[in-house]
Structure 1
């Protein structure tokens, strides 16, 4: 797909980074030609990207736009509108797309190149499939921006076939890990299970989200809003969290806090969880293999399965914030349907 740059791979085509004597980095737009002309874009990376996009506005269908130009416009104008987790994932995936497609003229990208990308990253099929979806989304935006009129090259190209995760967290496994968890992690485990929400959404839950008899949830991934009834064990958990926070040195409105009272970060949650899981595996040899297979994210599937068993699949779908029971059934229900025998 053309000659690949060897440094500053995060920059779109034609954008250069120059280190000044002071050590500060300034960015330039290389117009090419002889003699070479470079337009200063400033020392702020984000603002420089925005200026770069302005310089590229004249690019239209058939005018030599490259996929790197599309990425640059996306980074400057769209990326920041997403949730924090999506931004983090997109940035990681864009590195792969830049390395393979940045210098590729849109007029020359073909379905075979998408297949080549998937093949190159066959050792990480989940990442490869996610990158393909991002490429497809960017291509559709490029069509809307007038960068190309060509059909989406991802059309008809199948991603890697992935095995569905079938791990169901039994109560025994859950309580084994919970027994080795700190008080803060116990709160996090219980909150994730009782609400059925993603780990990132539980760390965002705040006292301000408690509105009388409701816990207001806005999912970071989809923007879906839920009003969760504060009853039963969830009510007990929220009361327990409030009581524990009273004794902390510092004050935070977030529901999940560390021992000092500061907000629990995702990294801290991951560290504490992996530590507790390791202790649980060592302390419960008969459950060791099952414990090692448990991911924190599996609590969302456990919440779905347990809710489906007690109140039906629609209740599980509602808890997870899905528009369709099919989504819940396809990705989260792992135990199988309860059925009576023939006689």
Structure 2
């Protein structure tokens, strides 16, 4: 008959342990608390499973899943931050030992901004939530942790500012900037468009290539945008369409470097996403396009993000005056109809 596990004291560390399934589980230094934890473990086999695996082992299982079920870009991003996280916590730490202060110390030491820190913490949270779903863990040990504040990118450009930006763009970079400004698409989408995605006046990314991989992404092309892609597709029938003067696809860093140089010339910050935000702002304020249509044209499932764009409209006094005039006009029309009836 096999021996039943029971707590034992290791004099070298002055700590209590028990052995389950050939693995040592630390119970702490206090005897009474150690025995309480031991009996809790023995009464909850799911908790035993979480005590037998380490954060490193979980990260490897999660990354294997990511590699098979997510895009290469997502996998590489998660690999980067989880490797850093395990390096900070150590390969031996178990999920039950993880505390919020461990995660805080790690993300504050990354040497990046608040938004990037928040994204890094989100990746750790995703790994732990996945482990709960797959029944590696009974619970997420840092569930409810407050993440670093996500700083909103409040950058958008007036028509005059965009003319200044465009004036300092040169060569093949002009096509990319013009396309972003004409369509409001994501910079990543523009960078990855190929001739096979073109369908008359539509760009269609199949579900497995679209953001979130939930449904196909459709970009509607106005005539100038279609003209750009038609020309580039003739030059580049295979591979991505937007390329630099050396025939190489534009990368995120290459675009950032170009825009940094333009920023120094125009005197204000220029980022690729500013074109997307500008498109949305102009569509809502000057174009009179309703938020639902804007959301769909931008590739969003609902109007949550688009509602944030209205914060930019507070700077557009002409738009607000016009909206106030419309509100009064509609109220007067309603009053007149009521009186006539």
TM-score, length of structure 1 as denominator length:
0.68
1:193-232 correspondence to structure 2 within 5 Å: 193-217=181-205, 220-223=210-213, 224-232=215-223
- Tell me what 1:161 maps to: 149
Q: Which runs of 5+ in 1 are unaligned?
A: 1-30, 34-58, 282-287
Could you tell me how far 1:117 is from its partner in structure 2? 4.3
- Tell me what 1:319 maps to: 297
- Tell me what 1:17 maps to: none
Cα RMSD, aligned residues only: 3.2
CA–CA separation in structure 1 for the residues paired with 2:110 and 2:250: 34
1:215-254 correspondence to structure 2 within 5 Å: 215-217=203-205, 220-223=210-213, 224-242=215-233, 245=235, 252-254=238-240
Higher relative contact order (CA 8 A, sep 6+): 1
Q: Given the superposition, is the C-alpha separation of residues 241 and 179 from structure 1 closer, same or farther in structure 2, using an over 3 Å criterion? A: farther
Q: Counterpart of 1:75 in 2: which secondary structure?
A: helix
Q: Given the superposition, is the C-alpha separation of residues 69 and 158 from structure 1 closer, same or farther in structure 2, using an over 3 Å criterion? A: same
Q: Counterpart of 2:204 in 1: which secondary structure?
A: strand
Q: Which runs of 5+ in 2 are unaligned?
A: 1-21, 25-46, 329-341
Of 78, 95, 105, the residue aligned with 1:106 is 95
Q: Given the superposition, is the C-alpha separation of residues 198 and 333 from structure 1 closer, same or farther in structure 2, using an over 3 Å criterion? A: farther
Show CA shifts across 1:64-110 (max 9, x none). Answer: 21111111112233235423432342233223311233432112223
1:79-94 correspondence to structure 2 within 5 Å: 79=67, 81-94=69-82
Could you tell me how far 1:158 is from its partner in structure 2? 1.4
Could you tell me how far 1:297 is from its partner in structure 2? 1.9
- Tell me what 2:65 maps to: 77
2:259 equivalent to 1:273: yes
2:243 equivalent to 1:257: yes
- Rg larger in structure: 2
Could you tell me how far 1:32 is from its partner in structure 2? 11
Could you tell me how far 1:237 is from its partner in structure 2? 2.7
Higher relative helix content:
2
1:1-343 correspondence to structure 2 within 5 Å: 61-79=49-67, 81-102=69-90, 103-117=92-106, 124-149=113-138, 151-217=139-205, 220-223=210-213, 224-242=215-233, 245=235, 252-278=238-264, 280-281=265-266, 288=267, 290=268, 293-309=269-285, 310=287, 311-330=289-308, 334-336=312-314, 338=320, 339-340=323-324
CA–CA separation in structure 2 for the residues paired with 1:77 and 1:163: 30
TM-score, length of structure 2 as denominator length:
0.68
CA–CA separation in structure 2 for the residues paired with 1:171 and 1:328: 20
Aligned residues: 272
CA–CA separation in structure 1 for the residues paired with 2:244 and 2:275: 20
CA–CA separation in structure 2 for the residues paired with 1:315 and 1:264: 29
CA–CA separation in structure 2 for the residues paired with 1:233 and 1:183: 17
Show CA shifts across 1:235-254 (max 9, x none). Answer: 233345457x3xxxx87442
Q: Counterpart of 1:168 in 2: which secondary structure?
A: coil
